[in-house]
Amino acid sequence: MKKQWILLLVLLLTMSLAIMGCGDEDAEADEENGEEVVDENGEDNGEEDAVDEDNDEYEVVEGEYPDGTYRGIFEDSGSQQVSIQFSVEDGNLYDISFRHLFYGGTDYGELEEGDALYGIYEQHLQVAEYFEGKPVSSITDLYEPGDFVDDVDAATGATLRGNKVLSAMVDGLNRGLYSPAGDYVIELPDYQDGTYRGIYGDGGEQQVSIQFRVEDGKIYDMGFRHLYYGGTDYGDLEEGDALYGILEQHEQIAEYFEGKALNDITELHNPGDFVDDVDAATGATLRGNKVYSAIRDGLNRGIYSPANGYSADLLENIEDGRYRGTYGDGGDQQVAVQFNVEDGNIQELSFRHIYYSGEDYREMEEGDALYGIYEQHIQIAEYLEGQPLETIYDLHNPGEFVEDVDVATGATLRANKVFSAIMNGLSRGIY
């Protein structure tokens, strides 16, 4: 199988963006805090085309994706908004369904016919119907949903949600198979030595947050930073609790993969081969898939903490356009960024969401005890303005350009999270 992460970049980063909106008016984001005008449904109306509007033909390079089921997510501004599942068979899409649709405080999956916003839910169903049997490459049609979705206008904001559905589908492809249709192998690219962090979330809750180290193409020191399913925090369970066995199963996963090659993570699709008591009661089979998805997400995001320097090869030939990415950990989404790429340089980086340990830093005012951390994020945006994309690797050493990086503020860690969010945006392709 081809190198999926790079293929996805080629797939989406070789295209130009032409977003169709009926009646939308541009509203500029605040340059310092990333605030944007929102409509009555909680959606941002600050969309601006970041590429040549006259180029409406997409040059598509189709990736090769193994047959099976994929899951992807798009989250933004503090709440997961789109969780999607779809199947691929012979390069075509089937069985698209939305596991979670949440915008502006409304759960659209819970709406009933007759509700004021039910039409938005129907539009998502039209999206699913439209792509049934179409090639994977056709997902770029979501840049112009007005061509196949009824009533795309400013009131419903479907144009914007088309972008979010696209981002979620790309995320699913980036993560690789959630459930294989048969036996398969993967050939992952070479990854730089260092520490990686990845997440898998679904149904409105982050469920798996994982950290691991890569050395010479092998996995070491795997640990779960967050395990949360169905309202239960498994990391807080103690021996003797009814569900403690599930925590032990995750510990067995970590032990099993110590020193194994990255390509061996496909074994997580059949955890019964190495994890005790995999059965319907514990649901460990499903969690094996989620761990796999979280690992792939971590690899897609690039090094969280480098071990021996870095290479910026993956940042070459990035298409001009607007990007959005997120980093979440420990049960909370923490960083959401938006930025433009122009001629290989990063432009107009803003933070749509900065949230740590119950604190919303964008809501702070000068004089608040933690306001300095917010200022450090602004310094990051100012430092990166107009710089080549590879400059984002400087975020691994923020003390060289951000003031007062120390244990009290924890800015060093947050700079890594900003890096992860930017890389997540690039891996999703043009927003």
Averages of pLDDT over each 10 residues, the chain, 431 residues: 39 34 33 34 38 39 80 78 93 94 84 86 92 94 88 52 90 94 87 93 76 96 89 86 86 96 94 74 63 95 84 77 87 82 95 84 85 89 95 90 63 76 93 88
Number of other CB atoms surrounding residue 162 within 10 Å: 25
* CATH ID of 313-428, from 3.40.50, 2.60.40, 3.90.1010, 1.10.730: 3.90.1010
pTM (2 d.p.): 0.82
Please say whether the beta carbons of 352 and 324 come within 8 A.
yes
The pLDDT score that the predictor gives to residue 409 is: 52
**Single-letter code of the amino acid located at 152:** V
SS3 call for 86: strand
For residue 74, how far is the Cα from the chain centroid? 6
Which pLDDT score, from 0 to 100, does residue 234 have?
A: 87
**Topology of domain 4-180, per CATH?**
Sufe protein. Chain: A (3.90.1010)
Using CB atoms within 10 Å of the CB of residue 352, give its burial: 0 to 12 exposed, 13 to 18 middle, 19+ buried: buried
Q: Taking the mean position of all CA atoms in its chain, how far away is CA 268?
A: 21
